[in-house]
């Protein structure tokens, strides 16, 4: 994958800034998909209250007459 990425940058097919963004998007999507399949235990703090997650992601899909769109909403 590294050699292919280097070759695509050398032939000016992709910019170097495409790769960190692609890794970040891929990581977020895979982590969210894996978390939907894994059942987690509810964590409680010392007072007995539920500890909430740091962020939440939601995906939306829509289409118009010309375009198909995908959206990601991240809530902190």
**Those residues with Cβ within 8 angstroms of residue 76's Cβ, 6 or more apart along the chain or in another chain:** 54, 55
**Residue numbers of the domain that contains 40:** 2-75
Domain total in the chain: 1
User: Would the pTM of this model clear 0.85, i.e. be above it?
Assistant: no
Please write down the HEC assignment for all residues of the chain.
Answer: CHHHHHHHHHCCCCCCCHHHHHHHHHHHHHHHHHHHHCCCCCCECCCCCECCCCCEEEEEEEECCCCEEEEEEEEC
pLDDT at residue number 49: 79
Please report, in tens digits, the pLDDT of each residue of the chain (76 residues total). Answer: 778 777 878 887 777 777 888 888 989 888 888 877 777 677 777 787 777 767 778 888 888 888 888 888 887 6
pLDDT at residue number 53: 66
């Amino acid at each position: 994958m590294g050699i292919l990425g280097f070759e695509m940058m050398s032939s000016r097919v992709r910019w170097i800034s495409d790769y960190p963004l692609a890794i970040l998007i891929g990581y977020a999507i895979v982590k969210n998909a894996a978390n939907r399949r894994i059942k987690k235990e509810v964590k409680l703090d010392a007072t007995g209250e539920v500890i909430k997650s740091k962020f939440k992601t939601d995906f939306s899909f829509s289409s118009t007459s010309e375009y198909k769109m995908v959206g990601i909403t991240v809530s902190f």
